[in-house]
Structures are given as structure tokens and as C-alpha cells.
Amino acid sequence: MKKFRIKTFGCQMNKDDSERIAGLLNGAGYVPTDADNDADVIIFNTCCVRRNADDRLYGQAAALKQLKAGQPDLVIAVGGCLAQMDGEAIQKKLPHVDLVFGTHNVARLPQLIDRAAGEKRSVCEVLAGSESFTSDLPGLRKHAWHAWLPITVGCDNYCTYCIVPYVRGREKSRPMEKLIDNCGSLVKDGVKEITLLGQNVNSYGRDLYGAPRFAELIAKVSAVDGLERVRFTTSHPKDLTADVIDTVAAGGNICPHFHLPLQSGSDRVLERMRRQYTSKNYLRIVEEIRDKVADVAITTDIMVGFPGETEKDFQGTLNVVRAAGFDQAFTFIYSQRPGTVAAKYEDRVTPAAAGERFARLIEEQNSHSLKNNRRLVGNKLPVFVEGRSKKDNYRLAGRTPSNKLVHIKGDDDLIGRTLDVEIREAFSWFLIGEAGDIA
Ligand code: SAH
Ligand code: SF4
Ligand code: F3S
């Protein structure tokens, strides 16, 4: 039997695509393997949102040159966002790669692999767009209990720094009835938690129905019989409306967590990023969420070193970080992406200044993460056990409804269950708890 291995970079959208790729290959008679030297096909599902994501692909794929030399029948394929952006450049830089395929070509992967195996030269197929959804393909899920559910693909926002609209295409929503049906079959198949995915979930349905219908969608998904947890990401602040906050506030199985990327706390920088909100609007939304949604966590993405960012702009970001009191922030140094509007901005911030702001931002945010996590010590929370901890194999790792990572002692048979856990210790990035009964 032929074996495949997929290496996934980037966001949840790529994780979902990888599960679809696995499903397709499984349907074509392949089985998964965890070892490179045991695989007949190795697939890189790439990201290009920042330069270091490109570099990681080139590093890891180059390292397979020797393996390929000893195993000439091995097929090495590169797909995903970097392939969509840089197809031919990848072929030039990595001549031992047999196949390059774009984000719109996933459905044809089994045929492309056969073609690449048959031909002696490398194959590149990158379509500019597609009418179908990769997420309609059968998936082979990494965890039986969890499913990603893309509700939209692509993005129409064209933030000036961002490559995503160019590599994922225009925003397209999947019809609501289809999504609800899909959730029903996933639950029958053993899924307990569904994460609704979109670059901007709040604009769900605008293209299909003339106006966004995200609040209605989460309410309907949450009513699917047998579903324990509903999550969603990402919420773009410009489109997050009160009806969505109210629906989450109603509770039940909708998890009280918003991932609400801030990017910058300076209105001048936000304007140049084309984010379409101000720091004041942003903080107003944070306040509304905290007022209405019990035990909520708010996480964010923040960037430093965007062209033209001054120390004063950066102070604006620190001020919003202090006022918002985020539970966690994913922090990035601006990375120039060819073809985007901001790539033409000339007032670049020096790497030294960006690095120094980055360190200060992390320090500021860590204190807020720790403060929020410490408040949970002594509480009993329902923790869904996801697996062994990556850091500490003696512990299990699970999540609270608000998506906080909790480490607990326990056996493998607890994986996939919800436990009542008493929180004992808090750190900036995780909690330690003591498991009680199965909830
Ligand atoms: N759709 C989401 C973001 C997807 S990209 C949203 O609008 O919020 C994930 C994160 O990567 C972004 O939130 C941003 O913080 C970061 N990012 C995107 N492009 C970047 C770039 N060119 N340089 C540095 N970080 C970037
Ligand atoms: Fe990129 Fe902006 Fe779209 Fe998010 S909303 S994917 S940051 S263009
Ligand atoms: Fe995601 Fe990276 Fe593509 S963030 S959409 S995998 S460019």
C-alpha cells in the first residue's frame, strides 16, 4: 500500500486543506505515515503570510534532496499559498520537487501525483480561481472529535500588508443549509467540537444573501443535536456586530472566545493598513464583549514595524494592549510581501527598531495574559482533553470553553472527554489543573 506524509504550515485554513488532501489520498488508496523515509509521497502545504514562512519551506524541502536521491520514486509535492504565489520560482529553487500545485487545485491532486510520478520532469499546476470549495471534499480528520468547517474562503478586505487575498482569491461563502447538513453528519461521525473558519467570519453570507448572516449561522450550528462545542475564527473588528456578540452571550455550546486581531493601536497606522476601524471603535467592541459575554477570552494579532510606524504610533499600540487586557496575543514583525500595496511604502522601519518594539510588546502582553490566567486559579472549569501535552509528555492537554490551554495529569483514555478541572497554577501561555470527575 502506498503511503503519504503531509507537512502543514500556516493557519487553520491550511490545516483544513491538509485534512482534505489526506481524505482525497486515502480515497485513492494511500495511507498516512509519520516518517519521511517510509513515504511514497511527501506533501508540503505551505504558507506565505510572512517571509519566515517562505524560508521554512525552502529549508525543509531542500533537506529532502538526499532522501530523493536515494529513493528516486518518491514524489515530493508543494501546495498551498506559497505554491499559489510562487509556483515557478519553487520549481527553479527546488529542482528535486516533482509537483507544485495551487490552492485551487487540491481536488485534482491524486491525478497530479500520478502525472508527476509518470513524467520525468516536474509538474506545476496553479489555477487562478475555482468555483468549487476544497472544503466540500471528504476529509480525513487528525482528531476524530474535532472538525474544521470553512464557512467562507478567500478574502475581500485587501489590508495593505496582506498577501492572503492574492493567494486565496475573493471571499466566497458556502450556503447555510449545506453547512448545517455538514455539521449534522460530522456529529454522527463522532465530532464533538466544530471550529467555523473564515478570514473574516463576520462577513459570512454577504456574497450569497446580500447581507452578513453570521449570527444566524452560529445559532443554527449550535442547535445541531449532540454538538458539544462551537468555535469560530477570525472576527474582523470592522464587521463584528452586536447580534453576533448577543448570540455568543446566550451561551450554551458556543464557546466564549473571540479572536479579534488589532494589528495596531495607532489610528494613522490602521488607516494605512486599510483596517477600516479606529482604536476607539476597537476598544468599544472589546468593552461590549466583556459586558455581555460571561467568562469570555479575547485574543488578538498585533504587528509592529509597519512602514511609517513611529515610537508614538507604537505607544498607541501599547495603550490599546493595556486597555483591552487581552488573554493572549500573537505578535509579528511586519514582513514585506511582494505585490501588496504596503510593499511600495518607502518609509520602512529599521529591523533594530522593529525588533526592540516587538520585545517590549511581548513583555507588556505577557503581564496581561498572566494576570487574566491568575484570576482563574481556584476555579473549576470544564476542560475538553485534546491529547498529550506537546511540552510535557506526562501531562494531558485540554482547553476550557474560552480556549485556555490546561495541562493535567491523567491517562490516555481521558482523551476526547470533558473533565471538571480545578485550576491550580497559572502561567502566561497555559494553566495547570487537577482533574476531577468526567463532566
Ligand atoms: N484574516 C485575519 C488574519 C489572517 S493572517 C484578520 O484579518 O485578522 C494572520 C495574521 O498574520 C494577521 O492578523 C497579521 O497580524 C499577520 N500578518 C499578515 N500579513 C502580515 C505581514 N505582511 N507581516 C507581518 N504579519 C502579517
Ligand atoms: Fe489579510 Fe486583512 Fe483579509 Fe485578514 S482581513 S486575510 S489581514 S486582507
Ligand atoms: Fe493561511 Fe498562510 Fe495561506 S496564513 S491563508 S496559510 S498565506
CATH number of 3-125: 3.40.50.12160
pLDDT at position 130 over 90: no
Position 437 confidence tier, pLDDT thresholds 50, 70, 90: low
Q: Which fold, 380-438?
A: OB fold (Dihydrolipoamide Acetyltransferase, E2P) (2.40.50)
| Order of strands across the sheet that contains 31-32 | 31-32, 3-8, 41-46, 75-80, 99-101, 123-125
pLDDT at position 439 over 70: no
User: Among the atoms of ligand 3, which is closest to the Cα of residue 103?
Assistant: 3
Least Cα distance to 200 among 229, 149, 237, 231 occurs for 237
What residues contact residue 372 under an 8 Å CB cut-off, 6+ apart? 297, 325, 327
pLDDT at position 386 over 90: yes
Distance 94 CA to ligand 1 centre (A): 27
pLDDT of 153 = 95
pLDDT at position 71 over 90: yes
User: Among the atoms of ligand 2, which is closest to the Cα of residue 156?
Assistant: 3
pLDDT of 102 = 94
Mean pLDDT of all residues in 193-210: 97
pLDDT of 85 = 94
What residues contact residue 27 under an 8 Å CB cut-off, 6+ apart? 110, 138
Which protein residue has the closest C-alpha to ligand 1 atom 24?
A: 334
CA atoms within 13 A on the CB side of 103: 28
What residues contact residue 173 under an 8 Å CB cut-off, 6+ apart? 151, 152, 204, 205, 206, 207, 208
Least Cα distance to 39 among 79, 80, 71, 62 occurs for 71
Query: Is the CB of 260 inside a 6 Å radius of any atom of ligand 2?
Result: no
Which ligand is closest to the CA of 199, given by its number?
A: 1
pLDDT at position 109 over 70: yes
Distance 12 CA to ligand 3 centre (A): 8
| Ligand 3 probe mutation, 16, 54, 56, 164, most atoms within 8 A of CB | 164
Bigger pLDDT: 355 vs 394: 355
- CATH 2.40.50.140 positions along the chain are 380-438
User: Among the atoms of ligand 2, which is closest to the Cα of residue 163?
Assistant: 1
- CATH 3.40.50.12160 positions along the chain are 3-125
Which ligand is closest to the CA of 44, given by its number?
A: 3
Q: How many C-beta neighbours within 10 Å does residue 213 have?
A: 19
Which protein residue has the closest C-alpha to ligand 1 atom 2?
A: 199
Query: Is the CB of 162 inside a 6 Å radius of any atom of ligand 2?
Result: yes
pLDDT digits (tens, 9 = 90+) for 322-341: 999 999 999 999 999 999 99
pLDDT of 436 = 76
Position 438 confidence tier, pLDDT thresholds 50, 70, 90: low
Ranges 128-142, 218-232, 257-271: which has the least confidence? 128-142
pLDDT of 131 = 81
Position 128 confidence tier, pLDDT thresholds 50, 70, 90: confident
Bridge-based pairing state of the strands 395-399 and 229-233: unpaired
pLDDT digits (tens, 9 = 90+) for 1-52: 999 999 999 999 999 999 999 999 999 999 999 999 999 999 999 999 999 9
Distance 250 CA to ligand 3 centre (A): 32
pLDDT cut 70: percent of the chain above it:
99
Average pLDDT, rounded, for the chain = 95
